[in-house]
Amino acid sequence: MKISLRVRYLVFIVVLHAVLAFLTYQWLREEKVLFIASEVLLLLSVAFSVQIYRDFQKPIAFVQAGIETIKNQDFTVKFVPTGKPEIDVLIEVYNLMIDQLRQERTQQMEQHFFLEKLLEASPIAILVLDFDERITTVNERTCALFQRPRGYFEGKTVPELELKMLSQLEDLPDGAARSIKHNGIETYKVRRSHFMDRGFRRSFLMIEELTQELLETEKNAYGKVIRMMAHEVNNTLGATDSILQTASTMLTDPDFADLREALLVASERNQRLSRFMRNFADVVRLPAPRQVPLDLHQLLREVALFMQALAGQRGVALHTALPEGTWVVAVDEGQLEQVLVNVIKNAVEACVPGQEVWLCARAGSIQVRNNGQPIPAEVEAQLFNPFFSTKPDGQGVGLTLTRDILLNHGFPFSLRTQPDGWTTFEIRVVG
């Protein structure tokens, strides 16, 4: 058992004075005057020892009080000097330390408050991890991006979230960045970095959307190329077709029948090439939508009726599932009709005889579903890339035009094959 310094001091004083009293009694009991004087000296010694004990206790009590205030993180308590140099030195040191701690704590709280406000105001999604790679903090942008509440993220590791976009980041090393594509159209730059917390490393993820910037850059790049090609090709085709048409009308002699037929074939080929270039040019010349109130249910019925002939030719059943009543939204009728025609045409062409295409409207969205050929995972991310096509004779213009029209309307959309095997193009109608 460890005995404290206070107890040892008290035992020493008691034993010392008891021995002195006993010796004084033994040696001076015959000398009354000396005996009394010795006892008085002993009493004064006891009083002096007690005073020393109290003086020693004051710094100890001061230190204990200071320790308690620091334990309770109360940095407002300061001590007043006592006039005793030995104690006042400790008080001065303590007060300086408390002032420094209070200043650092205030600064830390201000920085923490500032960082919280900065996180919430950031347009970049941020996920902060703890020492065990579990998420401790997410900002509002993260919740909006993944359409999940904060509680869904907190306490989980990134793989445990089971979010398709984040599943691509499990092997992302610290300090690295990666661009990922989501839903075939949304592009994000993800960076993993770290900061030091109490001497240990903690990681965080920053997810920045680049979709609009990339689309603008992409459109500017291919727009210049298409305009140049269209100008050169159309100028050449116009002059060439005029010569071919003139020559074919001049060759009236029956001996030139074969040549006249070849010239007509060449002219028709020129016209097809001209239409081909116009399709590309339409992507660049797409005007801003002229949005007026329109009953989408009526538009969907008309488009379905128009596409029945194509579906029937391929032996594909085209069904509609449209609620009763009207659904009025401000849209550009011609552009949205073009989108629906393109999407339904692609759905029908993905099917074989006996399969089905459904045109549905539900809960603020339009869906075109088919149970035809599923979309391979490696193709899904490239579907909306300009001029990408899986068809042997495809130009890759339809989905690019569809993408631009829907983005100009501000309508989110997605195209993917569901686990049940049905491929769904969904347009979420906003407004």
Predicted TM-score (pTM) above 0.75: no
pLDDT band at 340 (very low <50, low <70, confident <90, very high): very high
The answer to whether residue 58 scores a pLDDT higher than 80 is no
State yes or no: pLDDT of 360 exceeds 90: yes
The whole-number pLDDT of residue 295 equals 92
Alpha-carbon torsion 123, 124, 125, 131, what sign?
negative
pLDDT exceeds 90 at position 359: yes
- Over 80: is that where the pLDDT of 339 sits? yes
395 versus 254: which is more confidently predicted?
254
Read off the pLDDT of residues 246-286 as tens digits, 9 standing for 90 and up.
777 776 777 667 776 777 777 776 776 666 666 656 656 66
Token pair in block for residue 395:
């130009």
Is CATH 3.30.450.20 what the domain over 122-209 is classified as, yes or no?
A: yes
371 pLDDT band (50/70/90 cuts)?
Answer: very high
Q: Is residue 318 pLDDT above 90, yes or no?
A: yes
What's the mean per-residue pLDDT of the chain?
78
List beta partners, residue 321. Answer: 360
What is the C-alpha separation between 193 and 201, in angstroms, rounded?
10
Say yes or no: domain 292-428 is CATH 3.30.565.10: yes
Q: Does 233 or 18 have the greater pLDDT score?
A: 18
DSSP 329-394: EEE-HHHHHHHHHHHHHHHHHT--TT-EEEEEEETTEEEEEE-SSPPPHHHHTTTTSTT--SSTT-
Q: Which residues contact 293 (CB under 8 A, 6 or more apart)?
A: 328, 329, 330
Q: For position 12, what pLDDT does the model report? A: 77
Residue 160 confidence (pLDDT) above 60: yes
Comparing 305 with 80, the larger pLDDT belongs to 305
Beta carbons of 409 and 339 less than 8 angstroms apart: no
Q: For residues 416 and 173, give the distance between their C-alpha atoms in angstroms, rounded to a whole number.
A: 29
* Proportion of the chain above pLDDT 70, given as a percent: 76
Q: What is the mean pLDDT of residues 380-386?
A: 68
Residue 356: predicted pLDDT = 94
Instruction: Please report the pLDDT score of residue 216 as a whole number.
Output: 64
Q: What is the mean pLDDT of residues 158-169?
A: 78
The pLDDT, as a whole number, for residue 315 is: 93
Q: How far apart are CA 1 and CA 304, in angstroms?
A: 93
Model confidence at 214: pLDDT above 60: no
Q: 29 by DSSP, 3-state: which?
A: coil
Give pLDDT, residue 385: 65
Does the pLDDT of residue 357 top 80, yes or no?
A: yes
CA–CA separation, 392 and 220 (whole Å): 27
In this structure, which amino acid lies at residue 359?
L
Measured in residues, the chain has a length of 431
Q: What percent of the chain has pLDDT over 90?
A: 13
